Amino acid sequence: MCRRRANIGRVALCVAMLCLALGTPAMAQTQASGTLTITARVQSSMSLVFMDNANVGTTGFCPLTNAGTNNASLNLGTASFTTGDSLPCVKFAKIGAAIYDVSSAFDVLVTTANTNSPNYRLAVAMSSAPPANVTWMMNAATLTTAAQTLQAANPYGRTTETLHVQVKNSVPAQILSETIFFTATAN
């Protein structure tokens, strides 16, 4: 074969190879990739909410308003030394000859996450000093405006606490209201 014909053949082959080479990546380019790096920093946390006791509605277990939250209310009704309490869920009792006690129990649910804390300390305090001859108590502890430990090492979960209000019969008629602060601290 002459040189010119050989060259034409080579050129044709090169063109074909070029077409193949260009054609292959053209198809492969219909796919792309990207990366999204996800990061977070997990922090330990704990929760305290007030819950109705399982015996809610029976004597000594009044329902909470906003149960299931950390900002609930407990209505103890209207009470007097002579007539007792207006609400059947309130437990009424006389202490001695001149003091009456109204009480209701509720639950405190403390949970924790992302920590190996085995238990927690529960402290309580009241918002303001009560009138004379009025005593607010959580279980057996008399409440003051200073935080005090109610339980030093509660296991996580539900605990039942009972609020008492003790009123001497010399206390003038009035509305008695307090806000009680609960603080749970992981041990």
Partner 1 sequence: MQATKHNSLTKPRQERHGWHGCPQIENEKKIRPWESVGIGGVSWLMAVAAMLLLAGSAHAQLNASGTLNATLINKSGISIVFNSDASGVALSGSGTAAAGLNFGTVSMYGTAPAGVTVTRAAGSFTVSSPFDVFVDIGGTASPSYRLQANLAAVPGVYSYQIDAVPLSTALTTVVAADPNYRTNVLHTMYLTIPASAPAGAVSNTVQFTVTAN
Which of 9, 47, 88, 95 binds partner 1 (CB under 8 A)? It is: 47
119 binds partner 1 per the rule CB under 8 A: no
Q: For partner 1, give the closer residue by CB, 7 or 86.
A: 7
26 binds partner 1 per the rule CB under 8 A: yes
Look at residues 153, 151, 150, 156 and name the one whose alpha carbon lies nearest to residue 115.
156
- Quick note: the x/- pattern for partner 1 over 59-98, rule CB under 8 A, is ----------------------------------------
Which of 20, 42, 146, 175 binds partner 1 (CB under 8 A)? It is: 42
Cβ 60 vs Cβ 104: under 8 Å: yes
Cβ 40 vs Cβ 28: under 8 Å: no
Q: For partner 1, give the closer residue by CB, 162 or 183.
A: 183
C-alpha angle 123/64/146, rounded to 5°?
20
Q: In Å, how far are 40, 44, 66, 151, 179 from 75, measured between CA atoms?
A: 43, 34, 12, 24, 12
Catalog residues that contact partner 1 under the rule CB under 8 A: 2-5, 22, 25-27, 29-47, 111-116
